[in-house]
Amino acid sequence: MEFLQEIERRRTFGIISHPDAGKTTLTEKLLLYGGAIQEAGAVKSNKIKKGATSDFMEIERQRGISVATSVLAFYYQNKKINILDTPGHKDFAEDTYRTLTAVDSVIVVIDVAKGVEEQTEKLVEVCRLRKIPIIVFINKLDREGKDAFDLLDEVETKLGLRVTPLSFPIGMGYNFKGIYSVWEKNIQIFESKNKQKVAKTITYQTLKDNELQKTIGDEALVELKESLELLEGVYPPFNQEEYLAGNLQPVFFGSALNNFGVQELLDCFIQIAPAPLPKSTDKRIIKPNETAFSGFVFKIHANMDPNHRDRLAFIKVVSGTFKRNTPYLHVRHKKKIKFSSPNAFFAEKKEVVDKSFPGDIVGLHDTGNFKIGDTLTSGEEIHYKGIPRFSPEHFRFINNCDPMKAKQLNKGINQLMDEGVAQLFTLNLNGRKVIGTVGALQFEVIQYRLEHEYSAKCSFENLNIYKACWISTEDNENENYRDFLKVKQKFLAQDKQGQLVYLADSAFSLEFTQEKYPEITFHYTSEF
């Protein structure tokens, strides 16, 4: 019985958005309300020397952007909440796509002034395809921005969502007075004197309250009443089943920096968001309430503590109970491993846990056994699906700047590639190493981390490659296939797992090769 209760009280979700929409700030404020931290650190403020709690890599603090997914957990109203704060920058989208395999729901953050941006569209598309329940949080209401109804229309048309507002702003920008909660049927008027602590709120239970009229003025009150009538006429009422099925998306308004509307979002979230959900494997669907343990690796992070050179594999527990010092089957290696110090997370702070339940994220100290997508079980040989590596878009040769540090460089490259920061290809012709990334900024991150975490300096050399495609064929002895290997040997490489990859130098070349060798399949993701 305790097992089923523990599953029911878990909520595991990701926060996604375009860069600078306020995603990391929202994460901070959720932690603040959850009592996990006492004071929030403004992400980019130089006056406050504390970095944001979820941005723990040195390069993140310098740049003011998130480049890796952070895992944070806290308790709120007897629910255990696991937040995965993802990178917003498009160059790190692959980390975000993988993280979406480990969440049961998402919160999408949208900037009130910029509206729906390109990166948000791509990420929401992934969520929609996977039927992940979505809540939308429209942020930065204390700044001048678009009209609330215009924003709701934009969310519906650009993101293809069917929305229902569960809160609505009273005024906007300089005229921002507070929020009407459609969910709680009350009004919160805010004072914003201290941005870094939870703002005081004055709550009115009805629109007919005389004090409310004095506080916000006649004009704002009339406008609010008209807006609420319009909301009722235009948007469907909230239906939890529709939300959980991915067919209806609640919208909240607020300002994360000033703590406006964050608590309303959190209070509603823990009531409506799903507990851990079933997940597909190559053999069957696994339900969380199954007693046998199973989970999968969705992220690997080297050097969370640079002093100890530790490497952690992040595992999402899908079913059963994960117990410390219990042997579990590593399905790919077909061997049992036990873990003496599994970790629960609070950004870079970790604590050893004896027991973890479905929905929890566990960090396992790893000496190189794991790669992203690996499955761990009590004994059943299954493999969780849907954690591919994508074809990179930028390619460069990597050169060693210090021959005396070749060992450190190789170790650093291997560990960073296992994390999924980028992909490593070794050319068949001459053994030169090529790094492939989704975005150009990743090269800077690799260079920085190799130097600061492994004491190895490298340089990059441009390589004119259009696309990397994984190759498969049903007949390795086919004459045409052999011809392909001979003619294209200059463009063939092995990835880190030893799979054959074709590095096409142009769109034309790829198209021509596909036509010439129809018995060969060219894959744009590594999972096939």
Q: Comparing 82-91, 272-281, 416-425, which segment has the lowest mean pLDDT?
A: 82-91
Whether the per-residue pLDDT at 186 is higher than 70: the answer is yes
Domain-embedded: residue 311:
yes
SS (H, E, C) 43-102: CCCCCCCCCCCCCCCHHHHHHCCCCCCEEEEEEECCEEEEEEECCCCHHHHHHHHHHCCC
Tell me how far apart the alpha carbons of residues 273 and 246 are, in angstroms, rounded to a whole number.
Answer: 11
% of the chain residues with pLDDT over 70: 82
Query: 325 and 447 share a domain?
Result: no
Whether the per-residue pLDDT at 60 is higher than 90: the answer is no
* Location of structure tokens 């000033």: 258
Query: 263 and 286 share a domain?
Result: no
Burial class (CB in 10 A: 0-12, 13-18, 19+), 367: exposed
Query: 262 and 283 share a domain?
Result: no
Whether the per-residue pLDDT at 349 is higher than 80: the answer is no
- 77 closest CA partner among 168, 146, 11, 151: 11
List, as one string, the DSSP characters of 365-407: E-SS---TT-EEESS----B---PPBPPSEEEEEEES-GGGHH
Tell me how far apart the alpha carbons of residues 283 and 67 are, in angstroms, rounded to a whole number.
Answer: 34
Tell me how far apart the alpha carbons of residues 25 and 33 are, in angstroms, rounded to a whole number.
Answer: 13
The residue out of 272, 293, 320 marking a domain boundary is 272
> CATH code at 362?
2.40.30.10
Q: What is the mean pLDDT of the chain?
A: 82
Q: Provide the H-helix boundaries in 201-340.
A: 210-216, 218-234, 240-244, 262-272
DSSP lists the bridge partners of residue 12 as: 82
Tell me how far apart the alpha carbons of residues 77 and 203 are, in angstroms, rounded to a whole number.
Answer: 20
- Is the distance from CB of 221 to CB of 227 less than 8 angstroms? no
Q: What is the reported pLDDT for 302?
A: 66
Q: What is the reported pLDDT for 304?
A: 53
Q: Comparing 91-95, 182-186, 232-236, 371-375, which segment has the lowest mean pLDDT?
A: 91-95
Indicate the residue type of 170.
I
- Is the distance from CB of 149 to CB of 230 less than 8 angstroms? yes
Q: Comparing 63-67, 170-174, 186-190, 207-211, which segment has the lowest mean pLDDT?
A: 63-67
What tens digit of pLDDT does each residue of 109-131 get? 999 888 888 778 878 887 887 88
Domain-embedded: residue 108:
yes
Please report the sign of the dihedral spanned by the C-alpha atoms of residue 509, residue 510, residue 516, residue 517. Answer: positive
Domain-embedded: residue 54:
yes
- Is the distance from CB of 347 to CB of 302 less than 8 angstroms? no
Q: What is the reported pLDDT for 526?
A: 74
Query: 438 and 291 share a domain?
Result: no
The residue out of 319, 349, 377 marking a domain boundary is 377
* Location of structure tokens 């997370």: 345
Domain-embedded: residue 224:
no
Token readout for 74 is 């806290």
pLDDT confidence bin for 67, thresholds 50/70/90: very low
Tell me how far apart the alpha carbons of residues 259 and 30 are, in angstroms, rounded to a whole number.
Answer: 9
Tell me how far apart the alpha carbons of residues 233 and 81 are, in angstroms, rounded to a whole number.
Answer: 34
Cα radius of gyration rounded to whole Å, the chain = 25
The residue out of 377, 410, 430 marking a domain boundary is 377
Query: 418 and 353 share a domain?
Result: no
pLDDT confidence bin for 88, thresholds 50/70/90: very low
List, as one string, the DSSP characters of 117-162: -HHHHHHHHHHHHTT--EEEEEE-TTS----HHHHHHHHHHHH---
Query: 506 and 452 share a domain?
Result: yes
Query: 489 and 368 share a domain?
Result: no
Token readout for 285 is 């669907």
What tens digit of pLDDT does each residue of 475-508 get? 888 888 989 999 999 999 999 888 999 999 999 9
| Coil vs helix vs strand at 351 | strand
- Is the distance from CB of 69 to CB of 96 less than 8 angstroms? yes
> CATH code at 454?
3.30.70.3280
- Domain count across the chain: 3
Domain-embedded: residue 229:
no
Query: 446 and 363 share a domain?
Result: no
Domain-embedded: residue 26:
yes
Query: 245 and 337 share a domain?
Result: no
Token readout for 415 is 């560990």
- 31 closest CA partner among 49, 62, 6, 55: 55
Domain-embedded: residue 463:
yes
Whether the per-residue pLDDT at 330 is higher than 90: the answer is yes
Tell me how far apart the alpha carbons of residues 211 and 228 are, in angstroms, rounded to a whole number.
Answer: 20
Query: 148 and 253 share a domain?
Result: yes
- Is the distance from CB of 524 to CB of 390 less than 8 angstroms? yes
Query: 347 and 407 share a domain?
Result: no
Domain-embedded: residue 330:
yes
pLDDT confidence bin for 377, thresholds 50/70/90: very high
Whether the per-residue pLDDT at 192 is higher than 70: the answer is no
Residue 297 sits in which domain range?
279-377
Whether the per-residue pLDDT at 307 is higher than 70: the answer is no
Tell me how far apart the alpha carbons of residues 508 and 132 are, in angstroms, rounded to a whole number.
Answer: 37
The H or E element containing residue 357 is none
Q: Report residue 428 CA to chain centroid gap.
A: 34
